[in-house]
Chains A and B, each alone.
Chain A
Amino acid sequence: EVQLVQSGAEVKKPGESLKISCKGSGYSFISHWIGWVRQKPGKGLEWMGIIYPGDSDTKYSPSFQGQVTISADKSISTAYLQWSSLKASDTAIYYCARREGGPAAMDVWGKGTTVTVSS
């Protein structure tokens, strides 16, 4: 079964750093892109960026460029999303999702990681 398993919920203070993960299984991890999507409370989906674990090619939404870092460790089939200094406005659910390539859909999604940033 193809799965993306995300790390657990996090509660952090403003200014702290954070790295959340997304582990793929049941398919060739290096042959599919992994994207990250933010959903703030009661709001819609926002596309943050995407990485191709095979060569670490990464693309960021202009809205998130410089605000987060997307990476992957293909040896353990895991993608990451990290912040160096969290803000309260980063409070959201973060989903990872798989894409084959080209204009393909994001066909498999993780269950999401809830990040709460509060003093």
Chain B
Amino acid sequence: SYVLTQPPSVSVAPGKTARITCGGNNIGSKSVHWYQQKPGQAPVLVIYYNSDRPSGIPERFSGSNSGNTATLTISRVEGGDEADYYCQVWDNSDHGVFGGGTKLTVL
């Protein structure tokens, strides 16, 4: 089965740039989606189809995908960005696959 690997945690100072990676075999050939989950809340879609932003998501959130790594980039990080972030793809059997999640800490 397809496996997505994320770092367990990323820390960043306010105003700096956070990059959260999602590794998978030839993930660049797949569409990657990213979700933000704050404590006690349901996940929220922040990036879809590798780099598109849903309405209401700040432009500070961006995504890229190439080779074996997809990346979620959050520019000018704010305290309100502190959350768990999950990448997700659909495998060749149309089964969903989530990465293990990355806890973003704003220092």
Contact = CB atoms under 8 A, between A and B. Distances in A.
B77 interface: no
A62 B1 contact: yes
A103 B93 contact: no
Contacts, number: 64
Interface string B46-63: 001100001000000000
Interface of A: 35, 37, 44-47, 50, 59-62, 95, 97, 103-107, 109-112
Contact of B45 (A45, A46, A50, A105): A105
A60 B100 CA distance: 19
Given A103-B89, A105-B33, A47 B97 contact: yes
Nearest to B100: A44
Chain A interface SS verdict (over half):
strand
A12 to B, nearest CB: 22
Nearest to A93: B42
A59 B49 contact: no
